[in-house]
A = this chain, B = another copy of it.
Amino acid sequence: MEKIFKALADRNRLRILKMLERRPLCVCEVTSVLEMAQPNASRHLGILREAGLIEDDKSGRWVNYSLSDQGDEMVSAILAYLKGWGNEDPLFKADRQKAATADRRRLCR
């Protein structure tokens, strides 16, 4: 439980969750949107995964991360409430815009 809240208690990880609401993303897409170093993004994603907030789906050399849909009750409830929050935040909106237009074939090379 503490692990779940620790995972949520970081602005960049909340940004990741908000952009995953739109669609699953691979590490390089998240890296691109957050404009941070790739190892850093990978680490944040790992923390969210360990907490059960997101799931990873490895396909080839990519790892697609998506919001968890079978976590425990607390996780499901929090993810649901998060969807109705922060949608007018300029930063989250910009992130989503970037995520929407991100193309991994352009980004990751």
Contacts and interface: CB of A to CB of B under 8 A. Distances in A.
A78 interface: yes
Contacts of A8: 2, 5, 8-9
A10 B2 contact: yes
Q: Give the most central of A11, A74, A85, A86: most B CB within 10 Å.
A: A74
Contacts of A85: 1, 74
Q: Give the most central of A2, A9, A85, A86: most B CB within 10 Å.
A: A9
Interface residues of A, number: 18
A85 B77 CA distance: 14
A14 interface: yes
Contacts of A10: 2
Interface in A54-109: 73-74, 77-78, 81-82, 84-86
A5 to B, nearest CB: 4
Interface string A1-44: 11001101111001000000000000000000000000000000
Interface of A: 1-2, 5-6, 8-11, 14, 73-74, 77-78, 81-82, 84-86
